[in-house]
């Protein structure tokens, strides 16, 4: 009886995974970030800054609970201020994580493997930051559960025909399904950490989270099916979430909001800003922990290409909005476009055109897409641009609607800024903790990638 010659699989080197990695090496390299290595100076610096920002957020929110939303710059006519801008911005950022983990998985993209885990974590933390804002904006945040249908002594129901109620369901479903998808993906890696951890508390903690995963073929079989189907569910879900956010605006009568282009244009904008955030996180991550062999230039370049594509869709959205405003011949729609470009918020408008339409055009050049520093800078610019876009959409339409007698201005207060930067701190804080306590790259999927990429022509003959 003969058995095939035993030969350990080693990656042959490709543009998504460098050469010379076997199963043990990928496992060792990724798990050591969590289990062995010291946190490092960059991490401690980032953590300190983010903790300070979280403290600012805590103060801002405490003061808000004490005094109410009057501490913000919102008033009539601009009753939706930073809180809603931040909500739309954060929820958009989350979208790239699901896009990478679900859509690229369904399309068998091999460059998804090493970036999906931290992109999913990014989604979770972004959704957490996003979900905070509408609740803070409620006025009486402690009554937030009135948003949900539950048997109550007031005999009331939510208004199910309102996109704002759809939003409650869309965002909470999105948060829950993203968490489930992320956790299911983590189970095999938690088992690896359980088996590799040196300290007893770590073994117990990872052991509990790993649920007793053994890697049995029967388990993998059901696991793969469940993961595939979860990806299939998450893909339309991600499109629905920002569409519903878009309908929050489109269902209103205001010029600049009441437009059928909103749902698709919001989804493209969401993925655009999300990929910018993926790059903003991936570039420091691979540098700080020496993960350039796993998160390669090709990963960064592909994210950049998707940023360019979605950026062009967003630019088309701006164009279409202006064009239909003109085509409609509607006085108010035409005025809204003039007011955006030349009115009191023209600086913000031209800033968004610069950040979201002009800057991404640099990504046509291969040299730019492969220049890591420049890519980081461009993605930061795009994030600022996408925040500004939401600011312009929300503020300019509210600021000057139909009746000149009800026109007004919006001036954010220091509490608005504190809450915005505080939420950025919260996001970074969560992400830094994630990087230290959970594997930022899926080890099980990397081993699968090693297996696939080691089956070269030489191997087949053996």
Nearer to other proteins, 68 or 149 (CB): 149
Q: How far apart are the C-alpha atoms of 149 and 159, rounded to whole Å?
A: 10
Decide: helix, strand or coil at residue 460.
helix
Residue 293 touching other proteins (CB under 8 A): no
Under 8 Å between Cβ of 139 and 69: yes
Residue 188 touching other proteins (CB under 8 A): yes
Residue 75 touching other proteins (CB under 8 A): no
The residue within the footprint of other proteins, chosen from 96, 122, 177, 271 (CB under 8 A), is 177
Q: How far apart are the C-alpha atoms of 428 and 437, rounded to whole Å?
A: 14
Residue 366 touching other proteins (CB under 8 A): no
Quote the tokens at residue 46.
């980032």
The residue within the footprint of other proteins, chosen from 80, 213, 265, 410 (CB under 8 A), is 213
Residue 409 touching other proteins (CB under 8 A): no
How far apart are CB 12 and other proteins at their closest, in Å?
Answer: 15
Residue 458 touching other proteins (CB under 8 A): no
Quote the tokens at residue 329.
């011949």
Tokens 């030969």 -> residue: 7
The residue within the footprint of other proteins, chosen from 257, 279, 445, 453 (CB under 8 A), is 445
Under 8 Å between Cβ of 122 and 277: yes
Rounded to 10 degrees, the C-alpha dihedral 25/30/34/38 comes to 70
Nearer to other proteins, 7 or 331 (CB): 7
Nearer to other proteins, 31 or 388 (CB): 31
Nearer to other proteins, 157 or 402 (CB): 157
126: closest CA among 164, 168, 103, 97? 97
Residue 253 touching other proteins (CB under 8 A): no
The residue within the footprint of other proteins, chosen from 32, 225, 328, 361 (CB under 8 A), is 225
How far apart are CB 203 and other proteins at their closest, in Å?
Answer: 10
Residue 58 touching other proteins (CB under 8 A): no
Residue 7 touching other proteins (CB under 8 A): yes
Residue 153 touching other proteins (CB under 8 A): no
The residue within the footprint of other proteins, chosen from 12, 18, 22, 71 (CB under 8 A), is 22
Nearer to other proteins, 6 or 405 (CB): 6
Q: For 307, how many CA atoms within 13 A lie in the half-sphere containing its CB? A: 37
**154-173: which residues touch other proteins (CB under 8 A)?**
155-161, 163, 165-166, 169-170, 173
301: closest CA among 393, 373, 363? 363
Nearer to other proteins, 420 or 449 (CB): 449
- Choices 20-28, 49-57, 338-346, 425-433 (CB under 8 A): range interacting with other proteins: 20-28
The residue within the footprint of other proteins, chosen from 11, 113, 192, 423 (CB under 8 A), is 192
C-alpha distances (whole Å) from 374 to each of 289, 359, 360, 367, 377 are 20, 11, 11, 10, 5
Q: What is the DSSP string of 377-436?
A: HHHHHHHHHHHHHHHHHHHHHHHS-S-GGG-------HHHHHHHHHHHHHHHHHHHHHHH
Quote the tokens at residue 95.
């979208």
Q: Which residues neighbour 448 within 8 Å (Cβ) at sequence distance 6 or greater?
A: 113
- The DSSP secondary-structure symbol of 101 reads I
The residue within the footprint of other proteins, chosen from 99, 133, 223, 429 (CB under 8 A), is 223
Tokens 């007031």 -> residue: 154
Contact pattern for other proteins over residues 23 through 52, marking x by CB under 8 A:
xx--x-------------------------
Q: How far apart are the C-alpha atoms of 387 and 373, rounded to whole Å?
A: 22
Length of the chain: 462
Quote the tokens at residue 292.
């350039």
Nearer to other proteins, 265 or 318 (CB): 265
State the residues that interact with other proteins by CB under 8 A.
1, 3-4, 6-9, 22-24, 27, 149, 155-161, 163, 165-166, 169-170, 173, 176-177, 180-181, 183-184, 188, 191-192, 194-196, 207-208, 211-226, 229-230, 233-234, 236-237, 240, 244, 247, 444-445, 447-448, 451
């Amino acid at each position: 009886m003969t058995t095939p010659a035993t030969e350990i699989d080693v990656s042959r080197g490709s543009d998504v995974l460098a050469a010379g990695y076997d199963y043990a090496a990928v496992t060792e390299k990724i798990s050591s970030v969590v289990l062995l290595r010291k946190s490092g100076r960059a991490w401690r610096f980032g953590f300190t800054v983010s903790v300070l920002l979280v403290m600012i957020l805590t103060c801002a929110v405490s003061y808000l609970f004490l005094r109410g939303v009057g501490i913000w710059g919102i008033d009539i006519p601009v009753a939706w201020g930073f809180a809603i801008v931040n909500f739309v911005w954060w929820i958009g950022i989350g979208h790239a994580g699901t896009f990478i983990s679900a859509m690229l998985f369904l399309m068998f993209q091999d460059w998804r493997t090493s970036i999906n885990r931290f992109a999913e974590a990014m989604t979770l933390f972004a959704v957490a930051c996003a979900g905070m804002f509408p609740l803070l904006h409620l006025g009486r945040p402690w009554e937030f559960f009135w948003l949900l249908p539950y048997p109550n002594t007031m005999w009331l129901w939510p208004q199910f025909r309102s996109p704002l109620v759809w939003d409650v369901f869309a965002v909470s479903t999105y948060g829950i399904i993203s968490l489930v998808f992320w956790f299911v993906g983590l189970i095999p890696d938690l088992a690896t950490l359980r088996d590799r951890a040196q300290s007893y508390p770590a073994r117990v903690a990872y052991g509990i989270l790993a649920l007793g995963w053994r890697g049995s073929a029967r388990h993998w079989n059901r696991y793969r099916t469940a993961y595939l189907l979860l990806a299939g569910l998450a893909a339309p879900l991600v499109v629905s979430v920002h569409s519903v956010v878009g309908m929050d605006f489109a269902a209103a009568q205001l010029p600049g909001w009441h437009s059928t282009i909103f749902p698709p244009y919001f989804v493209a904008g969401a993925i655009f800003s999300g990929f910018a955030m993926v790059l903003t996180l991936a570039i420091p991550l691979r540098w700080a922990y020496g993960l350039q062999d796993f998160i390669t230039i090709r990963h960064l370049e592909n994210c950049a290409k998707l940023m360019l594509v979605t950026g062009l869709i967003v630019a088309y959205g701006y164009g279409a909005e202006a064009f239909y405003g003109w085509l409609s011949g509607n006085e108010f729609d035409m005025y809204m476009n003039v007011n955006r470009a030349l009115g009191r918020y023209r600086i913000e408008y031209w800033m968004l055109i610069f950040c979201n339409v002009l800057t991404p055009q640099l990504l046509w050049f291969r040299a730019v897409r492969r220049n890591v520093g420049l890519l980081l800078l461009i993605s930061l610019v795009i994030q600022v641009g996408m925040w500004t876009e939401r600011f312009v959409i929300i503020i300019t339409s509210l600021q000057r609607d139909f009746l000149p007698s009800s026109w007004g201005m919006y001036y954010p207060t220091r509490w608005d800024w504190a809450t915005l930067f505080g939420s950025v701190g919260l996001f970074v804080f969560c992400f830094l903790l994630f990087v230290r306590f959970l594997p930022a790259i899926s080890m099980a999927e990397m081993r699968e990638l090693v297996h696939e990429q080691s089956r070269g022509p030489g191997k087949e003959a053996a």
